[in-house]
């Protein structure tokens, strides 16, 4: 199979930071059928953006919300299908649905969330 099939993205990562280049290479090493199921952007967001996220200390993350706001009702939380863990698009590492941080924003998917 030619290299340009199965979402190979031949020029991706060429002028990127080392972490992103490494993630692109890991993506390229996947079988073509897996690459076809998995967009490169999703792979990068799951795999190599930790260096670009706020720390839990800087975001004042706590595993238990002090009020009515929680990660479960935040726009930034999502379930990593690869690791089956909750991840935040704004802070490093795994988060708990019951957690909270100062970056909390009401989920646009839940119009009934209290602020």
Tens of pLDDT, residues 65-107: 999 999 999 999 988 877 789 999 899 889 999 999 999 999 8
38 and 94 part of one domain? no
Residues 76 and 39 occupy one common structural domain: no
Co-location of 12 and 47 in the same domain: yes
Say whether both 11 and 43 belong to one domain: yes
Token pair listed for 38: 């998995």
Span 4-14, average pLDDT: 66
Structural domain containing residue 25: 1-52
Are residue 31 and residue 79 in the same domain, yes or no? no
Q: Which pLDDT band holds residue 13 (cuts at 50, 70, 90)?
A: confident
pTM, rounded to two decimals: 0.55
- Distance, CA of 54 to CA of 97 (rounded, Å): 18
**63 and 29 in a common domain:** no
Question: Mind listing the pLDDT tens digit for each residue in 29-60?
Answer: 888 888 887 777 777 776 556 667 889 999 99
If one counts the domains in the chain, the total is 2
Asked if 68 and 36 sit in the same domain, the reply is: no
């Amino acid at each position: 199979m030619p290299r340009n099939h199965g979402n190979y993205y031949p020029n991706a990562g060429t002028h990127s930071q080392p972490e992103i280049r490494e993630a692109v290479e890991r993506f390229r090493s996947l079988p073509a059928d897996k690459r076809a199921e998995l967009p490169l952007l999703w792979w990068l967001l799951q795999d190599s953006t930790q260096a670009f996220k706020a720390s839990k200390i800087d975001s004042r993350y706590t595993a238990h919300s002090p009020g009515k706001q929680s990660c479960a009702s935040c726009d930034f939380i999502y379930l990593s299908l690869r690791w089956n863990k909750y991840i935040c698009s704004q802070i490093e590492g795994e988060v708990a649905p019951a957690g909270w941080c100062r970056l909390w924003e009401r989920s646009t998917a839940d119009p009934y969330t209290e602020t």
